[in-house]
């Protein structure tokens, strides 16, 4: 005999399952007409006072989908790779296929908000950055730009919210997954955006722009360090050859180097190598100056690790983020263990400048096998970092890259590049500058973290508690 329907028993059966019961009329309430089950079983949270995304948009625009180049041809185009914390860095790619009027329409202005629309990594979809001043950059099509109505929410507060845990919950709920996850302006229009009072909006904005000011000071100090080293190496008045033709005999080329590609024999590379060899303090092979740590490490399946990829490397040699995951969840390339004061250097041609100093925060982290991990008893870690990011060494690394599908510098070529011996007093000065640059950057990050936590507390406990948190931590 069938037992009568019991609502309590029915709900008990559903408890613990990713199941939600909705009326058929529910999907009709949204312009997107969402029917996939994930939309209705996604995490959510209470947000009593809020706007809908469509209410706060003053302007929205996609970037350019034209092909980009690395030859500095055309206009600079910002990509997700140049998102630096909650701000943006300088573009490394250009586009010569757009005209001036298109470029002008896409140029970034102070308080624009850039959002990642699509990516193979779902965690990067919806990642958001603030444009803190006017820039002569356009941006790529997998980003879109929003300018919010300032009387409702300022740009800095919007960025902090979208990058907070609650913003991520909303983004993941409204994103759509197929081959890649997509978060379009249409989906942004459906988001809930907190309706904060003017005082909290202003406080968050002040924190964010104070953070940006510290980043600018950090970058300026690092550039000063770089200039100091380059002047010492004799690069101040140095002009490498620009002649594209360099005639070599078979003996001088293939029989000597094993290379037949014309790119390898550009005169500028010879000039950079002469610069190193003429350095007054002398030079030697990398393998003689540095230890290369390339043994594989097998992570324990249930232990959690910090994992560093290319996207986690900042422009001034810092590690800006990492993935936290158990060993069983890590990719097979997560096989290099790093220690404090190691320097990691990308081996891949398009990202050779992705070099970073491992600080105490990342001691015992793992990095991809796409990095070389080095340290040295003769050159301190900070000087190694600046040296590997310098113009001469970057060009020498590039010259020695090879391959077809993936162009990279192999271990044999890497260990045989030439490095100059840097004066001990100069090394001490470089170490001091780099440490101060990193300290300013960390202080900047702490301000952003304070802003983000204040937004989360305001959502959880009210704006007054959010304000108390800010006042306690600044």
Each residue's pLDDT tens digit, 15-57: 555 555 655 565 556 555 544 545 444 466 688 899 999 999 9
Residues ≥6 apart with Cβ < 8 Å to 142: 63, 79, 80, 116, 117, 118, 119
- Mean pLDDT score, 232-255: 75
Distance CA 449, CA 443 (A): 10
Residue entry with tokens 């004066």: 423
Give the lowest-confidence range in 116-125, 158-167, 251-260: 251-260
What does the DSSP 8-state code read for residue 314? -
For CA atoms 228, 239, 353, 393, the dihedral sign is: negative
In the CATH hierarchy, which fold is given to the domain comprising 7-195? Adenine-n6-DNA-methyltransferase TaqI; Chain A, domain 2 (3.90.220)
Question: Which has more pLDDT, 24 or 378?
Answer: 378
Domain map (residue ranges) of the chain: 7-195, 235-278+282-421
State pLDDT tens for residues 177-207: 777 889 999 999 999 999 999 999 999 999 9
Strand-pairing partners, residue 326, are 304
State pLDDT tens for residues 62-104: 999 999 998 899 999 999 988 888 999 899 899 999 999 999 9
- What is the number of alpha carbons within 13 Å of residue 440 lying toward its C-beta? 18
Share of the chain above pLDDT 70, in %: 89
Q: How confident is the model at residue 12 (pLDDT cuts 50, 70, 90)?
A: low
pLDDT, residue 41, reads: 42
Residue 393 has pLDDT above 60, yes or no: yes
SS3 assignment, position 230: helix
The 3-state secondary structure of 40-90 reads: HHCCCCCCCCEEEHHHHEEEEEECECCCCECCCCCEEEECHHHEECCEECC
pLDDT, residue 85, reads: 83
- Domain 235-278+282-421 in the same topology as domain 7-195: yes
Tokens of 338: 């790093």
As a whole number of Å, the end-to-end CA separation of the chain is: 68
Residue 2 has pLDDT above 90, yes or no: no
Question: Which has more pLDDT, 441 or 241?
Answer: 441
Distance CA 365, CA 323 (A): 10
What is the pLDDT of the chain when averaged over all its residues? 89
- Mean pLDDT score, 241-250: 74
State pLDDT tens for residues 247-260: 777 766 666 676 76
* Percentage helix, strand, coil for the chain under 3-state DSSP, each rounded to 5: 40, 20, 40
In CATH, 235-278+282-421 is 3.40.50.1820:
no
Residue entry with tokens 């491992």: 358
SS3 assignment, position 182: strand
Give the lowest-confidence range in 20-29, 148-157, 465-474: 20-29
Give the lowest-confidence range in 269-278, 285-294, 371-380: 269-278
């Amino acid at each position: 005999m069938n037992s009568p329907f019991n609502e309590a028993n029915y709900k008990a059966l559903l408890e613990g399952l990713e199941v939600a019961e909705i009326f058929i009329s529910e999907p009709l309430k949204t312009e997107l007409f969402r029917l996939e089950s994930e939309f209705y079983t996604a995490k959510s949270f209470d947000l009593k006072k809020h706007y809908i995304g469509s209410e706060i948009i003053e302007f929205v625009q996609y970037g350019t989908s034209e092909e980009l180049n690395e030859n500095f041809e055309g206009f600079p185009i910002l990509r997700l790779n140049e998102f630096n914390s909650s701000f943006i860095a300088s573009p490394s790619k250009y586009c010569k296929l757009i005209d001036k009027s298109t470029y002008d329409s896409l140029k970034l202005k102070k308080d624009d908000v850039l959002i990642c629309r699509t990516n193979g990594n779902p965690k990067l979809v919806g990642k958001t950055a603030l444009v803190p001043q006017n820039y002569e950059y356009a941006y790529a099509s997998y980003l879109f730009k929003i300018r919010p109505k300032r009387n409702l929410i300022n740009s800095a507060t919007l960025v902090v919210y979208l990058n907070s845990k609650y913003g991520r919950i909303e983004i993941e709920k409204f994103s759509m997954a197929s081959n890649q996850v997509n978060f379009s302006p249409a989906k942004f229009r459906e988001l809930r955006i907190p309706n904060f009072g003017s005082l909290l909006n202003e406080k968050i904005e002040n924190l964010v722009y104070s953070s940006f000011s510290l980043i600018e000071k950090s970058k300026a100090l690092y550039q000063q360090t770089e200039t100091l080293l380059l002047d010492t190496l004799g690069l101040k008045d140095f002009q490498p050859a620009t002649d594209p033709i360099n005639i070599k005999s078979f003996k001088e080329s293939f029989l000597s180097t094993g290379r037949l590609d014309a790119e390898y024999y550009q005169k500028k590379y010879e000039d950079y190598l002469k610069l190193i060899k003429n350095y007054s303090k002398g030079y030697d092979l990398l393998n003689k100056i540095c230890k290369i740590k390339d043994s594989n490490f097998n992570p324990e399946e249930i232990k959690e690790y910090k994992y560093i990829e290319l996207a986690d490397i900042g422009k001034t040699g810092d590690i800006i983020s990492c993935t936290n995951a158990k060993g069983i969840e890590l990719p097979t390339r997560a096989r290099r263990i790093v220690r404090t004061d190691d320097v990691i250097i990308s081996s891949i041609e398009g990202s050779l400048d992705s070099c970073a100093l491992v600080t105490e925060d990342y001691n015992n982290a793992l990095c991809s096998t796409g990095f070389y991990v080095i340290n040295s008893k003769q050159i301190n870690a900070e000087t190694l970092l600046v040296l590997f990011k310098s113009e001469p060494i970057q060009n020498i690394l590039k010259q020695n890259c090879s391959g077809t599908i993936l162009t990279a510098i192999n271990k044999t070529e890497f260990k045989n590049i030439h490095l100059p011996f840097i004066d001990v007093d100069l090394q001490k000065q470089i170490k001091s500058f780099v440490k101060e640059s990193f300290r300013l950057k960390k202080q900047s990050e702490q301000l952003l973290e304070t802003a983000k936590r204040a937004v989360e507390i305001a959502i959880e406990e009210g704006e007054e508690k959010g304000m108390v948190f800010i006042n306690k931590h600044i």
